């Protein structure tokens, strides 16, 4: 089987990258803006890290093709702990999902994996979630399969931290499942869609 490749957006200190590396994927590149996070990231990884505002990367395809794009786009604009300004966030963080969409459109990976706060689902009475779903399915033709995981159940972490994860596959924009909080019942885990 061919080794699959990953590109990581909003990579932080590399949590997604470490998980994918541990499963045999090759992380080809990553992007992160925070200098301290980048310092830690570089300590753990040797592949290219683009330490810059994602908006400054004008031609994502020049970073190189990857099979999977991961994105933990900023959650402050959607979190219950913040002002919940969403796409209208005055610091511009709420619109960074669209930068992820821009990378997906330019690179055309086989799949994507997004992560954000659980409140993304209900933010702005569900309208934010609908915009994200429609962008991925109707505009980019990727499936949209959301589910919620809590780190205390899956990560051996002594903290309740429920997060939403959204998975999608190329050329399957007709597939959009409703949020299923029981991850074992989610279509993604029953899917036979091959990535290779």
Where do the structural domains in the chain lie, given as residue ranges?
5-190
Please state, in angstroms and rounded to a whole number, the distance separating the CA atoms of residues 80 and 141: 30
Reply yes or no on whether the pLDDT at 192 is more than 60.
no
Model pLDDT for residues 107-161, shown as the tens digit of each residue: 999 999 999 888 777 767 777 888 889 999 999 999 999 988 887 887 777 888 7
Domain 5-190: what homologous superfamily? Vaccinia Virus protein VP39 (3.40.50.150)
> What average pLDDT does this structure show over 21-47?
96
The predicted pLDDT at position 109 comes to: 98
Cα separation, 62 vs 196, whole angstroms: 22
Note the pLDDT tens digit of each residue in 46-81: 999 999 999 999 999 999 999 999 998 875 544 444
Q: What is the pLDDT of residue 86?
A: 43
Average pLDDT score over residue span 93-112: 89
Distance between CA atoms of 21 and 5, rounded to whole angstroms?
9
| Residue numbers annotated as active site | 75
Residue 118 CA to residue 80 CA, distance in Å, equals 9
SS3 for 85-153 is CHHHCCCCHHHHHHHHHHHHHHHCCCEEEEEEEHHHCCHHHHHHHHHHHHHHHHHCCECEEEEEEEHHH
């Amino acid at each position: 089987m061919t080794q699959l490749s990953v590109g990581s957006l909003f990579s932080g200190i590399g949590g997604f990258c470490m998980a994918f590396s541990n499963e045999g994927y090759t992380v080809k590149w990553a992007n992160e803006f925070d200098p301290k996070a980048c310092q830690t990231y570089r300590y753990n990884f040797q592949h290219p890290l683009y330490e810059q505002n994602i908006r400054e990367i004008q031609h994502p395809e020049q970073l190189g093709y990857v099979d999977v794009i991961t994105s933990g786009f900023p959650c402050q604009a959607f979190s219950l702990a913040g002002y919940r300004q969403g796409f209208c966030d005055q610091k511009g963080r709420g619109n960074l999902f669209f930068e992820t969409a821009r990378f997906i459109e330019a690179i055309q990976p086989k799949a994507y994996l997004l992560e954000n706060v659980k409140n993304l689902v209900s933010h702005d009475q569900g309208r934010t979630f609908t915009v994200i779903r429609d962008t991925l399915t109707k505009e980019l033709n990727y499936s949209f399969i959301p589910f919620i995981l809590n780190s205390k159940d899956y990560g051996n972490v002594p903290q309740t931290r429920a997060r939403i994860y959204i998975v999608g596959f190329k050329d399957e924009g007709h597939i959009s499942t409703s949020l299923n909080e029981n991850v074992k019942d989610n279509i993604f885990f029953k899917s036979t869609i091959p990535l290779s």
